[in-house]
Amino acid sequence: MMPRILEPEVMDEEEQCLAYAQADFEEENQGFVDRFREYFPDLTAGHVLDLGCGPGDIPIRFVRALSGCRVTGVDASPAMIRLAEEAVRKAGCVDRITLRCERLQSLALSEPADAAISNSLLHHLPNPLQFWYGLKKLVKPGSYVLVMDLLRPESPEEAQAIVDCYAADEPAILRRDFYNSLLAAFTEDEVAAQLAELNLSRLLIDVVDDRHWVVGGRIY
């Protein structure tokens, strides 16, 4: 197994943020929201935190699917937050989605959230334990949590094959970021070890396709 190769933590290039916002992540993002509903059908209202919300597509899909919920989306990239603000305004969701440009490591909420979601953030962090520690601190005990991210392939060649298979027609900058993200991602065993280290073993990890893992459950 190849070692992890870090990529920059925050996506702060304008051009990469725009390429990310314009890419078609409908299947992945809607699938993520649908999975939340399927795993946690009794959560129909409350305050949901989205860590690393990027250009806001998941928060928008989330509030559309769960009419009793409001979402706080947090991202450390000013360019991403600007794109998210625009998307939220266009979607007519400003009253239900709050956006904050902050690093999750220093985030404080006036009240802990009722649930937390995060897609494709963990692999950006040099120290993944900061993510799980922050998550634990930011939600109420017993909150539902759904986290999804990429799986690190066995080799650079395998990473390139995944990029060629799923992003063949995307702009070069998106293909570059996808490749670098695969190299920076964690394996299933590494994520399980992170959960064990922070006493989060009630959260279960599942490998859901050839390039994603999902962690879900209640956090105490």
Residues that bind ligand SAM in the complex, under the rule CB under 6 A: 9-11, 25, 52-54, 57-58, 74-77, 80, 103-105, 119-121, 124
Closest approach of ligand SAM to the CB of residue 220, in Å: 23
Closest approach of ligand SAM to the CB of residue 102, in Å: 7
| C-beta of 72 vs 77, nearer to ligand SAM | 77
| C-beta of 74 vs 113, nearer to ligand SAM | 74
| C-beta of 194 vs 220, nearer to ligand SAM | 194
| C-beta of 130 vs 202, nearer to ligand SAM | 130
Residues paired with 149 in a beta bridge: 213
| C-beta of 106 vs 142, nearer to ligand SAM | 106
According to the 3-state scheme, what is the secondary structure of the chain? CCCCCCCCCCCCCHHHHHHHHHCCCHHHHHHHHHHHHHHCCCCCEEEEEEECCCCCHHHHHHHHHCCEEEEEEEECCHHHHHHHHHHHHHCCCCCCEEEEECCHHHCCCCCCEEEEEEECCHHHCCCCHHHHHHHHHHEEEEEEEEEEEEECCCCHHHHHHHHHHHCCCCCHHHHHHHHHHHHHCECHHHHHHHHHHCCCCCCEEEECCCCEEEEEEEEC
Q: Which residue is nearest to ligand SAM (CB)?
A: 54
Closest approach of ligand SAM to the CB of residue 126, in Å: 10
| C-beta of 104 vs 146, nearer to ligand SAM | 104
Closest approach of ligand SAM to the CB of residue 144, in Å: 17
What distance in Å separates the CA atoms of residue 53 and residue 81, rounded to the nearest whole number? 8
Q: b or e along 108-135 (b: 16 or more beta carbons within 10 Å of the residue's beta carbon)?
A: eeeeebbbbbbbbbbbbbeebeebbbbb
Closest approach of ligand SAM to the CB of residue 105, in Å: 6
Closest approach of ligand SAM to the CB of residue 210, in Å: 18
